[in-house]
Amino acid sequence: MNIKQLIEKNRTYRRFDEKHSISVEQLTELIDLARLSATAANRQPLKYMLITRPDECARMYPFLAWAGYLTTWEGPNPGERPAAYIVILGDKEISDKFGFDPGIAAQSIMLGATEAGLGGCIFASVKREALRHEFSIPDQYDILLVLALGEPIEQVVIETIKENDVKYWRDNQAVHHVPKRTLEEIIIHK
Amino acid sequence: MNIKQLIEKNRTYRRFDEKHSISVEQLTELIDLARLSATAANRQPLKYMLITRPDECARMYPFLAWAGYLTTWEGPNPGERPAAYIVILGDKEISDKFGFDPGIAAQSIMLGATEAGLGGCIFASVKREALRHEFSIPDQYDILLVLALGEPIEQVVIETIKENDVKYWRDNQAVHHVPKRTLEEIIIHK
């Protein structure tokens, strides 16, 4: 796959085959991609907490806000939930700001996951203090992002945006449709 | 190239063959990668300003802070400067915050550039108001990041970090060395 194909395949997925487990070794390979990615002033302030055991995944699940626009859907059913999570932390002993580093790292990880046949969802909407308490995350770390990962079992289709409506929707075949702005709209001409 | 090879090749480059020009069409293909990348709540608030003409590149150059740790180096000499820039803007008519979107978009663009034989540098340290004035960027847009692009002419080598010193350095062969933290350091064990 070239990068265009990889990015096209790297959709946000929210339903998975939960029986398809993901190992710590697989996640570590993904973290290596983030490790080698750009970071402001080469500070490398990001740390990563890996969650792969089913009991830990069950403890993580309630802290995430799923698919805001699907107002009648409360999130994936048991059996279709993520099989692993990566919590991206900012180490305040290294830096007091994390800027654009978490987005860069998250994209590297999600592209690596996609290449490996996995998929998932980047969560910025997280119940951070409850998560901190549940997993005893020290105050030294800011909780920046949670990446949910699994083997996707849903189809996601890119649509052209209409009437500036960015809300994704699910059709009656459970296919997920995501409207995207056109190149003409997003390139500013001087 | 698989994603690991692509990310290893995607170093931060600061010296280029300025004669190697980059077309608006090439940049547009890179923007398409960002267009198809994840964005919070699918809002897609990012816009992109493309700079490819030599006179425009010359006007952009002074607004960027080059290689903070190389205290005796003022930036690339004429002839070794970027051949194009992408300014990532946040459209405040769409959203009042841009979160992790710019980092995700920047990484997609830089990986696409790397695959195309280009390379560059992500600048968060930008003289934003001077840049806004020079290119008459409307107040509707926050200036988030500037990506500098060109055909790299320098060698960049990844090193293992020693004594927690993140400062990159250039050796007497002008090879650029970048110390990276180990996997053991960045993975937090619960």
pLDDT higher at A67 or B140: B140
Least confident interval from A3-17, A61-75, B95-109: A61-75
Q: What Å distances lie between residue B70 and A41, A95, B161, CA to CA?
A: 11, 20, 17
- Inspect the interface and report whether the beta carbons of A183 and B35 lie closer than 8 Å: yes
Phi, psi of A157 (to 5 degrees): -120, 135
d(CA A98, CA A142): 9
Q: Pick A33's closest partner by Cβ from B4, B31, B112.
A: B4
B116 token code pair: 């195309």
Phi, psi of B91 (to 5 degrees): -85, 105
Q: Is A67 on the interface with B (CB under 8 A)?
A: no
Q: What is the mean pLDDT of chain A?
A: 97
Q: What Å distances lie between residue B52 and B21, B142, B153, B155, CA to CA?
A: 8, 21, 19, 24
What's the pLDDT score for residue B67?
Answer: 83
What's the pLDDT score for residue B68?
Answer: 84
What's the pLDDT score for residue B190?
Answer: 74
Q: How many helices (H) and strands (E) does chain A have?
A: 6, 8
- Inspect the interface and report whether the beta carbons of A69 and B124 lie closer than 8 Å: no
Q: Is A86 on the interface with B (CB under 8 A)?
A: no
What's the pLDDT score for residue B126?
Answer: 96
Assess whether pLDDT exceeds 90 at residue A3: yes
Q: What Å distances lie between residue B35 and A4, A6, A68, A123, CA to CA?
A: 11, 13, 21, 19
DSSP state of A76: P
Q: pTM of the predicted model, to two decimals?
A: 0.98
- Inspect the interface and report whether the beta carbons of B46 and A179 lie closer than 8 Å: no
To the nearest whole Å, the CA of A50 is away from the closest chain B CA by 8
**Residue A102: its chain B contacts at CB < 8 A?**
100, 103
| Cβ within 8 Å of B, A 112-141 | 112, 115, 122, 124, 135-136, 141
Q: Pick B107's closest partner by Cβ from A12, A40, A104.
A: A104
| Cβ within 8 Å of B, A 161-180 | 161, 166-168, 178-180
**Band (A166; pLDDT cuts 50, 70, 90):** very high
What's the pLDDT score for residue B189?
Answer: 83
What's the pLDDT score for residue A67?
Answer: 84
Pairing of strands A141-150, A84-91: antiparallel
A98-142 confidence digits (pLDDT tens): 999 999 999 999 999 999 999 999 999 999 999 999 999 999 999
| ipTM at complex level | 0.98
What's the pLDDT score for residue B107?
Answer: 98
What's the pLDDT score for residue A189?
Answer: 83
d(CA A189, CA B64): 21
Low-confidence ranges of chain B (pLDDT < 70): none
Cβ–Cβ < 8 Å for B186, A47: yes
What's the pLDDT score for residue A68?
Answer: 84
d(CA A30, CA A25): 9
What's the pLDDT score for residue B174?
Answer: 93
**Residue B125, Cβ density class (10 Å: 0-12 exposed, 13-18 middle, ≥19 buried):** middle
B91 token code pair: 């459209």
Q: What is the chain B residue with the closest CA to A182?
A: B35
Cβ–Cβ < 8 Å for B165, B134: no
Q: Which helix or strand (DSSP H or E) is residue A113 part of? A: helix A101-115
- Inspect the interface and report whether the beta carbons of A115 and B2 lie closer than 8 Å: yes
| Cβ within 8 Å of B, A 30-49 | 31-33, 35-38, 40-44, 46-49
